[in-house]
Amino acid sequence: MGNRFDFCEALFHVHPTPEFQIAEHGSLATNMRDGCRPYVSAMIVIAGNKIARYSSCTSKHAEQIFIESETFQHYIKNTELKCVTFFMKTHPCHHSTIVSRCTQSPILDKFSCTLLLIDYYEHILKPRGIQLHIHVASLNRAVWKNPKRQEDIQAAENSRLGLKMMLRAGILILAFQKKDWLQVATLCEDDINEADLLSPTRQQLDCCIHNFLHDFNKTIHE
């Protein structure tokens, strides 16, 4: 995960979230803005004793790179596992990434990591009795309440639909807990104090995500 600043940018950083009444940044450096870019993210995958980190690039999303990893997939198919766990900055996209605002009609990405992971879960993991758990450090567009622009309205609707589809398929979407932050922090090159990992702003967001997902689970069959 690199140093503490790489870790903060790729996973930990709390960006202001008015839907959850979070007005300040939460950072491993300071509660103020520290240069962490919101679009930079990483996905940590843990399966048994195997751990890997994936990042999206210009041509592929992190989830796609994971599924195309022959080494990791060979391990999963030939190891007795109970669960594959993702730790992500935000949940997998579903036609919800705005790839360009530089046109008269902003463009939403046609790609869906949600559909990709559902297919992977149903054909690779589920037949082997392996669960898929996805821990998310933010919910991004899924919690937008009153977007104004049409592309933002559509992105928010698609984002929530993607969540609903994964939950219906049996994939668990979870907030980070204390033990999760302590676990992923061990992958960082720098030692990170527990007090920094469990800052009030970070705990507030994690609690809000947990409550949102708890309520959202009640609507998945509507």
Residues 15, 34: Cα–Cα separation, whole Å: 11
d(Cα 143, Cα 135) in Å, to the nearest integer? 16
Q: What does the pLDDT profile of the chain (222 residues) look like in tens digits?
A: 788 888 998 899 998 898 999 988 888 875 455 677 777 788 999 999 999 999 887 678 899 999 999 999 999 999 999 999 999 999 998 876 655 444 455 555 577 999 999 999 999 999 999 999 999 999 988 888 888 888 788 888 989 999 999 999 999 999 999 999 999 999 999 899 899 899 999 999 999 999 999 999 998 877
Domain range summary for the chain, segments of one domain joined by +: 4-217
H or E stretch covering 136: strand 131-136
Indicate the CATH number for domain 4-217.
Answer: 3.40.140
Q: What is the pTM of this model?
A: 0.90
Q: What's the Cα-to-Cα distance from 83 to each of 27, 78, 113, 133, rounded to whole Å?
A: 30, 14, 19, 7
